[in-house]
């Protein structure tokens, strides 16, 4: 292979024409990669298409694993397309409590996908595919509706001040329908806007600062709250917090877990906390797992906490029990 590649590395002449070519080669082996000519040629072609993805001359061996991964991904994508209509998505709700009193302030809606064949899948697996394919628009709309409807039901049961946090990805945020979706959802569910908090990550803010600012402002005008999720993992830019109308900052679990641990969370978290307080934002810690962490957060005057210490994500019927079975 290397010698074929080498012979094309310099321009050559043929029929008084000068050729300067790059070559892409796909290789597969008999009998491991196929026992008949059709299969072998098809597999060599699939290897060649991978070689073509690289600039210049290159060659690739047929790799069954890569093909399996790609095939699985296509299958997932197809299945995800039908997940909403087939009722395969469901929400779990993780309580968020007041650090001092332990009172439940809100829950965060976390989407799950139960596929009959692939089993239960976490959002980290399928939200990126939903984002890339645009399926997040319909999935996100379903999540919003279901979370607001459910929260309104809990409020009707007597938990009248319970809020709901809903994650919105950068792709969702970039589409103009989002505002209308939120407006419709609030109207349809009867949930008052101040009980809805939209969780965004910093990647939303850097995408298109002007449009983002106007969408955030429109949300604020509607009375919806905005939380910055996973703070500390991305840009961690304090200027973002000043520039955009953010109500709540959620400190990423990696920071929380360094509190009283071997890293530097104990020194960074107070610094972030002091700055955030000076901006008059509400401060929530994610991933709180130990009493020591909670004590530390209380000392640092955090407002809210979320994590396994309090509760992991719950099914909707478990939430009612968690809240006390009735107000
Ligand atoms: P997130 O919004 O930061 O959600 C918190 C994640 O941390 C959840 O993972 C939750 O189960 C997990 N977690 C909660 N408490 C603890 C703890 O004490 N320790 C540890 N180690 N982990 C804890 P999950 O449910 O797998 O969700 C992962 C991410 O997927 C979410 O991170 C969010 O970015 C995204 N996501 C979830 N639901 C939706 C959705 O409806 N729409 C969009 N666009 N994204 C979603
Ligand atoms: Mg979140
Ligand atoms: Mg988070």
| Residue 132, domain CATH | 3.20.20.450
How far apart are the CA of 305 and the centre of ligand 1, in A? Answer: 14
51 plus 93 within the same structural domain: no
Nearest ligand 1 atom, CA 122: 26
159 plus 39 within the same structural domain: no
42 plus 118 within the same structural domain: no
SS3 letters across 76-144: HHHHHHHHCCCCCEEEEEEEEEECCCCCEEEEEEEEEEEECCCEEECHHHHHHHHHHHCCHHHHHHHHH
Strand intervals (E) in the chain: 12-14, 17-19, 24-27, 58-61, 89-98, 104-115, 119-121, 163-167, 196-200, 225-231, 248-251, 282-285, 304-305
What residues flank ion ligand 3 with Cβ within 5 A? 229-230, 286
Does residue 299 fall inside a structural domain? Answer: yes
Mutational pocket test of ligand 1: of 91, 110, 139, the residue with most ligand atoms within 8 Å of the beta carbon: 110
Which residue has tokens 């449009």? 211
Quote the pLDDT of residue 327: 42
Exposure of 294 in the CB half-sphere (CA atoms within 13 A): 17
Mean pLDDT for the chain overall: 91
d(Cα 151, Cα 187) in Å, to the nearest integer?
14
Quote the pLDDT of residue 264: 57
Tell me which residue of 149, 157, 163, 143 sits closest to 97, measured CA to CA.
163
- Residue 140's CB is within 10 A of a number of other CB atoms, namely 25
How far apart are the CA of 250 and the centre of ligand 3, in A? Answer: 7
Does residue 68 fall inside a structural domain? Answer: no
Quote the pLDDT of residue 326: 43
Contact 222, 254 (CB under 8 A): no
Does residue 67 fall inside a structural domain? Answer: no
For 184-212, b/e burial (b = at least 16 CB within 10 A) is ebbeebebeeebbbbbbbbebbeeeeeeb
Mutational pocket test of ligand 1: of 92, 147, 286, the residue with most ligand atoms within 8 Å of the beta carbon: 286
Element (H, E) at 313: none
Across 25-46, average pLDDT: 94
Across 289-305, average pLDDT: 94
Q: What residues pair up with 60 in beta bridges, in sequence order?
A: 26
Residue 60 φ/ψ region, left for φ over 0, alpha for ψ in the -120 to 50 degree band, beta for the rest: beta
Quote the pLDDT of residue 253: 92
Tell me which residue of 240, 234, 297, 243 sits closest to 265, measured CA to CA.
297
182 plus 221 within the same structural domain: yes
55 plus 140 within the same structural domain: no
- For the cut 90, the answer to whether the pLDDT of residue 80 exceeds it is yes
Q: pLDDT (tens digit, 9 = 90+) per residue, 250-268? A: 999 988 988 876 665 567 8
- Among protein residues, the one with the nearest Cα to ligand 1's atom 11 is 313
- Among protein residues, the one with the nearest Cα to ligand 1's atom 35 is 123
Does residue 304 fall inside a structural domain? Answer: yes
Quote the pLDDT of residue 325: 54
Q: Which structural domain range is residue 193 located in?
A: 88-323
50 plus 95 within the same structural domain: no
Nearest ligand 1 atom, CA 168: 44
Contact 191, 129 (CB under 8 A): no
Q: pLDDT (tens digit, 9 = 90+) per residue, 213-231? A: 999 999 999 999 999 999 9
144 plus 96 within the same structural domain: yes
Q: pLDDT (tens digit, 9 = 90+) per residue, 171-226? A: 999 888 899 999 999 999 999 999 999 999 988 888 888 888 999 999 999 999 99
Dihedral sign (CA 277, 279, 281, 283): negative
Does residue 231 fall inside a structural domain? Answer: yes
Quote the pLDDT of residue 126: 95
Confidence of residue 168 (pLDDT cuts 50, 70, 90): very high
Q: From the CA of 110, which ligand is nearest?
A: 1
Tell me which residue of 135, 156, 142, 136 sits closest to 109, measured CA to CA.
142
Contact 25, 1 (CB under 8 A): yes
- Among protein residues, the one with the nearest Cα to ligand 1's atom 34 is 167
Across 110-116, average pLDDT: 96
* C-alpha pair distances (Å), 193 with each of 123, 138, 209, 258: 26, 21, 24, 35
Nearest ligand 1 atom, CA 172: 44
Split into its structural domains, the chain has a count of 2
55 plus 102 within the same structural domain: no
Does residue 268 fall inside a structural domain? Answer: yes
How far apart are the CA of 40 and the centre of ligand 2, in A? Answer: 47
Pocket of ligand 1 (CB under 6 A): 94, 109-111, 122-124, 127, 140, 143, 167-169, 199, 229-230, 253, 286-287, 289, 306-308, 313
Mutational pocket test of ligand 1: of 123, 306, 314, the residue with most ligand atoms within 8 Å of the beta carbon: 123
């Amino acid at each position: 292979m290397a010698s074929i590649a080498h012979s094309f590395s310099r321009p050559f002449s043929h029929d008084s024409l000068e050729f300067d070519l790059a070559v892409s080669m796909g290789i597969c082996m008999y009998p491991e990669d196929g026992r008949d000519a059709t299969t072998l040629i098809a597999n060599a072609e699939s290897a060649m298409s991978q070689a073509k993805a690289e600039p210049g001359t290159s060659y690739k061996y047929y790799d069954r694993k890569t093909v399996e991964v790609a095939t699985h991904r296509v299958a997932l994508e197809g299945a995800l397309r039908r997940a909403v209509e087939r009722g395969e998505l469901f929400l779990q709700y993780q309580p968020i409590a007041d650090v001092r009193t332990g009172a439940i302030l809100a829950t965060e809606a976390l989407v799950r996908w139960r596929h009959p064949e692939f089993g239960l899948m976490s959002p980290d697996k399928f939200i990126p595919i939903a984002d890339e394919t645009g399926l997040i628009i319909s999935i996100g709309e379903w999540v919003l509706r279901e979370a607001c409807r459910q929260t309104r039901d809990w409020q009707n049961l007597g938990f009248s001040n319970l809020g709901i946090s809903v994650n919105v990805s950068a792709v969702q945020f970039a589409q103009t329908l989002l505002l209308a979706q939120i407006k419709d959802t609030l109207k349809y569910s009867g949930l008052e806007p101040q009980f809805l908090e939209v969780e965004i990550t910093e990647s939303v803010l850097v995408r298109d600062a002007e449009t983002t600012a106007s969408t955030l402002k429109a949300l604020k005008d509607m009375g919806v709250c905005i939380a910055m999720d996973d703070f500390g993992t991305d840009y961690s830019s304090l200027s973002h917090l000043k520039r955009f109308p953010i109500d709540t900052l959620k400190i990423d679990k990696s920071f929380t877990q360094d509190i009283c641990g071997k890293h530097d969370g104990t020194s960074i978290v107070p610094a972030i906390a002091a700055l955030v307080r000076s901006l008059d934002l509400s401060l929530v810690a994610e991933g709180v797992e130990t009493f020591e962490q909670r004590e530390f957060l209380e000392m640092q005057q955090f407002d809210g906490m979320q994590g396994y210490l309090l509760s992991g994500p719950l099914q909707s019927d478990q939430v009612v029990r968690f809240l006390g079975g009735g107000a």
